[in-house]
Amino acid sequence: MAIIKDSPGNSFYGLIKEIFNWYPSKYPAAERKLLFKLDLSILIFACLCFFVKFLDQTNISNAYVSGLKEDFGLYGNELNYFNVCYYVAYVVFQVPGMLLMSRPRLARWLLPSLEILWGLCTFAQSRVTNVHQLYACRFLVGMLEAPVFAGTHFILGSWYSGPELFKRAGTWFICNPLGTMVSGYLQAAAYTHLSGVGGMPGWRWLFIIDGIFTIPVAVIGFLVFPGVPDSPKPFYFTSDDIALAKARLEKAKIRKPGKLNLDVFKRSLKRWHIWVFVFCYICMIIGGYPDSYMNLWLKEEGFSVVQINQLPTVTYAINIVASWLGTTLAAIYPSWTVYTGATSCLVFSATCMIVWNIPKPLKFVAWYLFGMSGCLSPILYSTVNTVVKGDSEERALILGAMMTFGYSFYVWTPLVLFPTVGPNGAPRWRIGWPVALVFRVLLWAGFITAILMHRRE
């Protein structure tokens, strides 16, 4: 069974046309209208939800280098401990959250409800008075954000298929680096303009701003998020829309949700999918961990607080382009070619970090080229949705297991491979950078293996 991809022809114009061809003329008018409704409902909420998630996830690092460290006297591995608290909860609640997401009656309401709760926890982070309270807040935020990433991929794979799935996944994933990039600018603005307002330092205001963003997004989710095709029908869908959506799924051989029992685990463990895809995501997590810590290097080099928050945003801008364009190209050309090109850039950057003593302009280039990783995750998850489309419960389990086992390495690898202080500490990471390079290559090898095994089925 092969993944059918649209052909752009042999011209550059044909390629550009196919990149922006979200509503093919070969589709009937009713189907194009349905796709437009889906894009407005799923993508708007999913993009906003993902944006505020990564805004919050990055805020802790930006707050650390913008006054939190000095205010709380954090001169050990506390930054890693913040991340450990977050990812322990993130790991534990992945699979339960994903299995709940596979239930049609819950799928429509789960993410908006969790968004409300984590918005409240985000506000709470602005009022902490000691590091232990912040540890607790990070745990709660990780628990509530757990199903967002894999759950959105599951929802996308429940409505879209083929090239349309890849294009939407890449566009949605833009909000990962966008949230991270905006966080840098927000922290710089908060540090410059809000420090001292209300008697609070700028880093506290960053969490308040994030919470202000989060609550309206949750309200939008309650209004427009459709869940899966078998969920309660939202107001903007007609009965014909739902019937057409289900007919599209049947044509694409995407099976609707069935019973949730122990057989889901038995049949999933007997197939190669879960083993290969979980391995790939573990490699992605370990290999990509140090990419986003350019701010620690800038702090060590003596750059100003504003520069520390703004200069890394170039990486996220590149990440945005790579996420959208790379995933779109993977919908047109063989996905392994895009994966190989992006991996080559990452191997070059990791090699520069291993050498370390290189001209400063080259080191900036190396940090910025890490942005090419933006296409790897949406391509991988879209491939999972495509390969395992015939079993909704197995697909949910695999997506959840990828996050569970992948992020379980976030719990301990920062302490072992990427410590904040010490002879092997940030940002030099004498042990961490070589290990990251190895896992970048293993991710590529695992992805190629998945493509080859899928072609044999």
Q: What is the DSSP string of 371-432?
A: GGGGGHHHHHHHHHHHHTTT-HHHHHHHHHHHHHHHHHHHHHHHHHTS-SSSTT-TTT-TTH
Average pLDDT score over residue span 51-66: 78
Q: How confident is the model at residue 421 (pLDDT cuts 50, 70, 90)?
A: confident
List the structure tokens of 264. Answer: 């889901």
Q: How confident is the model at residue 11 (pLDDT cuts 50, 70, 90)?
A: confident
C-alpha span between 213 and 272 (Å, rounded): 41
pLDDT of 1 strictly over 50: no
Query: Which of 116-125, 182-191, 411-420, 434-443 is predicted most confidently?
Result: 434-443
Please give the C-alpha separations between residue 228 and each of 88, 100, 173, 175, in angstroms, as whole numbers: 28, 12, 20, 22
Answer whether 232's CB lies under 8 Å from 111's CB: no
Q: How confident is the model at residue 2 (pLDDT cuts 50, 70, 90)?
A: very low
